[in-house]
Amino acid sequence: MVLEAIKKRQSVRSYREKEIPEEVLQQILEAGRLAPSASNQQGWKFIVVKEEILRKKLVPACKNQKFVGEAPVVIAGCATNLDHIMSNGEHSYPIDLAIALDHMSLEAASLGLGTCWIGAFYQDQVKEILGVPEDVRVVALMPVGYPKELGSKTGRKPLSEIVCYNKYRT
Ligand SMILES: Cc1cc2nc3c(=O)[nH]c(=O)nc-3n(C[C@H](O)[C@H](O)[C@H](O)COP(=O)(O)O)c2cc1C
Give the model's pLDDT for residue 57.
Answer: 98
Alpha-carbon distance of 7 to 111, in angstroms, equals 13
Q: Over 90: is that where the pLDDT of 18 sits?
A: yes
- Spell out the residues 6+ positions from residue 39 whose beta carbon is closer than 8 angstroms to its own: 84, 92
Alpha-carbon distance of 129 to 67, in angstroms, equals 17
Alpha-carbon distance of 114 to 106, in angstroms, equals 9
The size of the chain, in residues, is 170
Alpha-carbon distance of 9 to 3, in angstroms, equals 10
Q: Whose CA is nearest to atom 21 of ligand 1?
A: 154
Band of pLDDT at residue 128, cut at 50, 70 and 90:
very high
Domain residue ranges in the chain: 2-162
Q: Which of 68, 116, 141 to mutate to test the pocket of ligand 1 (most atoms within 8 A of CB)?
A: 116
Give the model's pLDDT for residue 111.
Answer: 98
User: pLDDT tens digit string along 26-42?
Assistant: 999 999 999 999 999 99
Give the model's pLDDT for residue 1.
Answer: 83
Give the model's pLDDT for residue 73.
Answer: 98
Q: Which atom of ligand 1 is nearest to the CA of 151?
A: 26
Q: Please state, rounded to an integer, the average pLDDT across all residues of the chain.
A: 98
User: pLDDT tens digit string along 81-103?
Assistant: 999 999 999 999 999 999 999 99
Would you say 144 and 68 are in contact if contact means Cβ atoms under 8 Å apart? no
- Domain 2-162 -> CATH class: alpha beta
Nearest to 24 by CA among 144, 166, 154: 144
Alpha-carbon distance of 158 to 163, in angstroms, equals 9
Distance 33 CA to ligand 1 centre (A): 22
What proportion of the chain, given as a percentage, has pLDDT over 70? 100
Give the model's pLDDT for residue 131.
Answer: 98
Give the model's pLDDT for residue 76.
Answer: 99
Q: Whose CA is nearest to atom 14 of ligand 1?
A: 117
* Rg, the chain, Cα only: 17
Please name every residue paired with 140 in a beta bridge, in sequence order, or none if there are none.
77
Ramachandran area for residue 60 (φ above 0: left; ψ -120 to 50: alpha; else beta): alpha
Give the model's pLDDT for residue 44.
Answer: 98
Would you say 45 and 136 are in contact if contact means Cβ atoms under 8 Å apart? yes
Nearest to 64 by CA among 22, 125, 150, 133: 125
Strand, helix or coil at 124?
helix
Give the model's pLDDT for residue 74.
Answer: 98
Q: Over 90: is that where the pLDDT of 167 sits?
A: yes
